[in-house]
A and B are shown apart, each in its own frame.
Chain A
Amino acid sequence: MSLLKVTDLKVSYGGIEALKGISFEVPKGQIVTLIGANGAGKSTTLRAIMGLVPLKSGGITFDGREITSLDTSRVVAEGIVLVPEGRRVFPNLTVLENLRVGAYLRRDTEEIENSLRYVYERFPRLEERSWQMAGTLSGGEQQMLAVGRALMARPKLLMMDEPSLGLAPLVVRDIFGIIKRLLEEGMTILLIEQNANAALRAADYGYVMETGRITLEGTGEELLKNQRVRDAYLGQARKKR
């Protein structure tokens, strides 16, 4: 059963169409990845789902409910959380406050403490630094914090926008390790990656985006073998910016 279903989504920024009608699904308990070159519209897709950019047309259903054009805070309340591109931790808040702000909409005070313990178990580094201002963390630690902060909302669907961007290979491996564990625990994940190789290896299913359209789809394995994908995205490690 599909947890998230996106149908013919169109978004334009001041007349320029960034999404020209894309459709895809994320089945419950699985990991789906969107890959594509810079500017293909991957971040825009996630931002549109979160209600951060207005839709021109199209529909989004989540867990059987219509969430098209809902306010961002309503989307979060429905159970979708985004780890944004570039981490975006709150530098002026402590690590602990960043985590607590992740649970902003929750009212179950005691359960929040459990979630905090859960996050600290998975990221012991964060616990050691819980009183440190998030702005002073290293890039890798900030990414851990961004993921931990998202988990504090206890999402049904976790969306991650290039979590490995700018991180050392060892840290990237950590991130993918965390993704794997979350899946084992039953999480549903929508992952965007420049690192197409790692993403497709991890993914149950993948979509390839090119300038606002989905041009190819298939299981992770199929896409890894596909010649077009290999030429375009699996050359040598593509550096961004």
Chain B
Amino acid sequence: MNGFERLFPYLLAGVSVGGQYALIAIGYTMVYGILRLINFAHGDIFTVAGFFMVYMSATMPLVVSIPLTIILTVLLGFTVERVAYKPLREAPRMSIMISAIGVSYLLQNLMWYVTGGLAKQYPVLPWLSNSVTILSATTKIVTIVTPLLTVALVLLLLQLINHTKTGMAMRAVSRDFETAKLMGIKIDRVISISFIIGSFLAAAGSLLYFTNYPTVTPTVGAMPGLKAFVAAVFGGIGSIPGAVVGAFLIGISENLIKAFGYSTFSDAFTFALLIVILLVRPTGLFGEKTIDKV
């Protein structure tokens, strides 16, 4: 067996998990780009999406429970913004940050409360869970679908942001709330849209991520959530292409580290990367030079 054949399955897994991180990371980076807020609740929304799927699929067929999971997740993201962040629009940034931490704990505790802390069985998504063999590596179809779907969604999103009127409004709001208002833009609507998109992508990421695992617990979302956050910082928080590139790089690196037999260090690597980035290049790969909002 040559080197490439040995590494290939790891690369494949890396690209796949990278796609899942990317779908979560976009939500962090978009919200940061517009509100300059690190939405600590975003990772929990990802996990809650897992439970939505668990409970929906228990009583409904997948054709219903999958779209319903996505809709409920979007609604949750939207509601969190309206209830916990919108009233603090004029408040100092620290207040809204603390509110985000509060929402994060609230969601975590709700998950404990509802599940009793027990692992809940995640449904098997038929086609996605089937095995395929490519280049002598055997894997689930979801592994192949994830990066493709991620790239397609990202291209769609970039199209929206760069070539539509709504996207133009989002870019305007991200730079200057007040002047955006003077153009007639309803900034609350634009902010809601960014939460809706972020939650939608997190729901998609959640479906693709949890398919690989038999169960969901209230804590399992924390790690991918954190890694997606690191990816967003690594890519330059606020930049969507940055978050996507960062996510794929982290996903691939982690799995290559596993390939070389250092599995124990694969998580540590991500956080070491965060520390190095913050020290060496705090604006990340694609980040704008710190332009604080005036």
Give the interface of A toward B (CB within 8 A).
Answer: 50, 52, 71-73, 76-77, 81-82, 84, 88, 90-93, 97, 100-102, 104-105, 149, 153
Contact = CB atoms under 8 A, between A and B. Distances in A.
A84 B185 contact: no
Interface string B160-192: 000001001101101110110111111000000
Contacts of B174: 92
Given A90-B172, A92-B171, A97-B168, A73 B184 contact: yes
Interface in B179-228: 179, 181-186
A142 to B, nearest CB: 12
A88 B183 CA distance: 11
A104 B178 contact: no
B288 to A, nearest CB: 8
B184 A84 contact: no
Given A91-B175, A101-B172, 9 more contacts: A50-B181, A50-B182, A52-B182, A71-B186, A81-B182, A92-B174, A93-B175, A104-B169, A104-B183
Interface residues of B, number: 16
12 contacts: A71-B186, A72-B182, A76-B182, A90-B172, A92-B171, A92-B174, A93-B168, A97-B168, A104-B169, A104-B183, A104-B184, A105-B184
Contact of A93 (B171, B182, B184, B186): B171
Q: Interface of chain B, helix or strand or loop or mixed?
A: helix
Contact of B171 (A77, A90, A102): A90
Contacts of A92: 171, 174-175
Contacts of B178: 52, 84, 88
Nearest to A159: B182
Nearest to B288: A92
Contact of B184 (A52, A77, A88, A91): A77
A90 B182 CA distance: 12
B176 A72 contact: no
Contacts of A102: 183
A71 B184 CA distance: 9
Contacts of B175: 90-93
Nearest to A83: B182
Contacts of A82: 182
Contacts of A81: 182
Contact of A72 (B165, B168, B171, B181): B181
Contacts of B172: 90, 93, 101
A37 B275 CA distance: 50
A100 B169 CA distance: 10
B171 A153 contact: no
A82 B174 CA distance: 20
A90 B185 CA distance: 13
Contacts of A97: 168, 171
B173 to A, nearest CB: 10
Contacts of A91: 175
Contact of B186 (A52, A73, A84, A88): A73
A52 B169 CA distance: 18
A145 to B, nearest CB: 12
Nearest to A74: B184
A76 B182 CA distance: 7
A92 to B, nearest CB: 5
A73 B179 contact: no
A90 B165 CA distance: 15
Given A93-B172, A101-B168, A88 B179 contact: yes
B176 A88 contact: yes
Nearest to A73: B184
Contacts of B184: 72-73, 76-77, 104-105, 153
